[in-house]
Amino acid sequence: MNLTDFIQRPAALNPARLPQHVAVIMDGNGRWANSQGLPRIAGHRRGAQRLKELLRYCKAWGIGTLSAYAFSTENWGRPTPEVNFLMQLFERLLQQELETLHQEKVRICFIGDLSILPKSLQRIIQQAMQKTLQNQGIIFNVALNYGSRQELTYVCRAIAADVLQNRLELDNIREETITQRLYTQHCTEPDLLIRTSGEKRLSNFLLWQLAYSEMYFTQTPWPEFDHHEFHQALLAYQNRDRRFGKLNQLAPLSIATEV
């Protein structure tokens, strides 16, 4: 089945005001499974299905980039059987879905420190990124063994090395110097962050990139985050006034002045 089969953009959404980059913190898989009397791994399976569906919606509705927080640097502290299951799930999904995603022009990018992942997973990750590198349908960032503080530490070390080796002048360090060295240098910054399951924190996800993103929090656990929920998140986004620290030029100036 193609990613865009049977999916229509809701008429209530203004196509000119859709976010071009949506980031998601997929929270609540384990709690959802427990509430259903199921093992936690069942929640992760259902969550993976929801992520595939969300990618379909984004591509069909004209959203250019989707970034998903799949596994954080802190997630290694979970029970070993759960971590092992997740690694196997990532590998199995890539094996099953890669050809379809490639045919649908999805560019798959993994962000994070991939060096300590299982070797077999590393191999298929590299294969997926290389195979889909030229695709221009949608960018799909998967944050795996990702931590934003880790990322920024890496960037600081890279900049320091460039300065020490006279490849970069200290006075030439700008915001762009950092942005161009981030894992996400290949895409724009997120316009909208969605976090499910009632939590209201960033959890070390894209701290630099989310500086001016709109944030949407919902009580719905990730395994229940369907196209209706995504529709509501996008409607909320379209009702926001994004000023980026500036005044809306159409709004009346109401600053009192003293004589």
Please name every residue paired with 106 in a beta bridge, in sequence order, or none if there are none.
138
Q: How far is CA 18 from CA 26, 44, 215, in A?
A: 20, 28, 14
Instruction: Give me the catalytic one of 5, 14, 27, 141.
Output: 27
Active site residue 75: yes
Angle at 108 between CA 234 and CA 26, to 5 degrees: 45
Report which secondary-structure segment, H or E, holds 100.
helix 80-103
Local structure of residue 252 (DSSP, 8 states): P
Residue closest to 192 by CA, chosen among 55, 18, 59: 18
Active site residue 226: no
Instruction: Give me the catalytic one of 75, 113, 162, 204.
Output: 75
Report which secondary-structure segment, H or E, holds 131.
helix 119-131
Q: Which residues are identified as catalytic?
A: 27, 75
